[in-house]
Amino acid sequence: MSDGRVLFVGCGPGAPDLLTVRAVRALRDADVVIWSPSLLDREALAAHVREDAEIVAWPPANQGDIIGVYERALAEGLLVVRLKGGDPTLLARMEPELSAVLALGLSCELVPGVSAHAAGAAAVRLELALPEAPLLVADAAAIGAVPPGCGLAIYGPGRDPRALQRVLLEGGLGEAAPCVVAIDVSRSDETIVSCPLSELAETLEDLGGGRMTVVLAGPAYAA
């Protein structure tokens, strides 16, 4: 059996000091790191990887190239770290890579990370969920009816801000429902703006996009 291993490692929302101890240990042990500057600055990466570690930049590497790295891990007994933004279990698009790793028979592990919505809530001192106010985490394209009193963490809100605002209004949130727009939270250029739902689309359009944008919305966040 090959000694090759693949770790899907959540590197948090981008701030180097939000890397977990387990993530740092994985980077230090890695023979190959599949990395994107949108996930972690090159300086932060360099602070933790070995000098002889191979860095595969994605892009320009494509999915076929990445699966080729996993095949090399099997043949050569390599430890590969595949970085994922935030937490790899949340909207990380691990397929078809995860299936390829398992089909090859490689040892595989998922290393949790700090999610962007958790970092955004922490930045504005909000508690994301309470027993009486559960949390719904979703991609903007998948939101339907909003349970009464529920708080929402919405990924991908910038793809169609007007449609998102309309869906939230039709889903049960009122125009005065408080929203927090967090762009590149935890990074040096983070932007965090509060607004009522009636102004959400305009706010998103005015701010433009970043590497990661998350919206927190709902009456639970009125404070």
Q: Are 59 and 87 in contact (CB under 8 A)?
A: no
**Average pLDDT of every residue of the chain:** 94
pLDDT tens by residue, 154-174: 999 999 999 999 999 998 899
Supply the pTM of this predicted model: 0.91
What percent of the chain is predicted at pLDDT more than 70?
A: 99
* β-bridge mates for residue 32, sequence order: 54, 80
pLDDT tens by residue, 10-44: 999 999 999 999 999 999 999 999 999 999 999 99
pLDDT tens by residue, 83-113: 999 999 999 999 999 999 999 999 999 999 9
Q: What is the mean pLDDT of residues 125-152?
A: 88
Q: Are 86 and 110 in contact (CB under 8 A)?
A: no
Q: Are 88 and 111 in contact (CB under 8 A)?
A: yes
Cα distance between residue 39 and residue 137, in whole Å: 20
Which two three-digit tokens encode residue 71? 């095949």
Q: Are 98 and 26 in contact (CB under 8 A)?
A: no
**Quick one: DSSP state of residue 24?**
H
pLDDT at 147: 83
223 vs 95 pLDDT, higher one: 95
Q: Are 165 and 196 in contact (CB under 8 A)?
A: no
pLDDT at 223: 62
Q: Are 35 and 107 in contact (CB under 8 A)?
A: no
pLDDT at 21: 98
pLDDT bracket for residue 216 (50, 70, 90): very high
pLDDT at 131: 85
Domains of the chain: 5-111 (3.40.1010.10), 116-221 (3.30.950.10)
pLDDT at 1: 52
